[in-house]
Amino acid sequence: MTFVPLAEIRRGGILESLHHGVAVVADADGHILQSWGDPSFVTFPRSSLKPFQAIPLVETGAADAAGLTEEHLALACASHSAEDFQVALVRGWLDRLGLTESALVCGPDMPRSQADQAAIWRAGGDRSRVYHNCSGKHCGFLTLTKHLGAPVASYNDPAHPAQRLYLEAFSELLGEDAAKLPRGTDGCGLPAVALPMAAMAKAAARWAAAKVATESRRTAIRRLQSAIRAFPDHLSGRDSATGKIVRATQGRVLLKGGAEGFVVGFVPEQGLGIAVKFADGASRAKMGVFATLLGRLGLVDAAEALAQAVEGEIRDSNGNPVGSVVATLPA
């Protein structure tokens, strides 16, 4: 069976909805340790690939040449909420590069928060490319592009030197030529690749263990891990599930969500990788399932409480709890 039940939505104790999916845990030696559903299922990890895409930014020296901090590196791996500190960081980054937001391929968007959106409209503002959740990743590619002396306008072209460097780094972690993977285009306009869930979990394990051939790449991965560990709120936003999980594990577990119900986890100390995908593309249960999976692996205490904290309750329009999201990973 390709998909298995991963989460239930219950209202008044009655099953209302059921989310199916695939989950895989692998180690850096390429072994699948546990799986639920079909680990050969091919799909797009979407933004869960950002920690891989950021490797050349550091490895080539582009980040240091531009004077980037750990905050910038965390934002390069982010799907941010366009909160004030994130927007300021993106705008300052573009200034540092001598570019304007028009250089960003990602289209104009609004912050995730409805309150922030309303404040912008009231002030006579409008959609902006810096508000796009992928603008940090795009700033990373622009930094790399300028460092390479490559054309800025086409940094999203699959044949662009910046994109080729990313695929080369990803290929080593994947254990095969990533340029031969099925391709599409992500929502932000950059190339996207599809791969089996097992392959994603194995690549995540190698990223976690920094299991690569060169010291420069190993150092680059470790620096990205340090940045995510130090600034987990940059990856999504304040009070995000990502930040809660990183803090609950004291940085032992790092993670990155992706669109259409995807999340990837990295456990550096054990060299483990985790990949979770919901078949229906829903995201409302993925962090709760991820937290439950961490408990199954013995990586977090009180996993049920953590799952409840990151995604447990369903509330009505008055803010009253009326239901719950319950992880149902088969034993």
21 assigned to some structural domain:
no
CA distances from 231 to 118, 193, 303 (A): 27, 27, 22
Give pLDDT, residue 1.
67
pLDDT (average), residues 95-119: 96
- Work out the average pLDDT over 130-135: 98
Strand partners, 191: 185
Write down the pLDDT at residue 304: 60
Q: For 220-243, what is the mean pLDDT?
A: 96
Give the domain range for residue 310.
44-323
Q: What is the pLDDT of residue 303?
A: 63
In a domain, 257, yes or no: yes
pLDDT at 330: 82
Sequence-distant (6+) residues with CB within 8 A of 324 are 9, 10, 308, 312, 313, 314
Average confidence (pLDDT) over 221-241: 96
Structural domain contains residue 35: no
Confidence of residue 305 (pLDDT cuts 50, 70, 90): low
Q: How many structural domains are present in the chain?
A: 1
Predicted confidence (pLDDT) at residue 302 exceeds the cutoff of 80: no
pLDDT in tens, 170-222: 999 999 999 999 999 999 999 999 999 999 999 999 999 999 999 999 999 99
In this structure, is residue 221 part of a structural domain?
A: yes
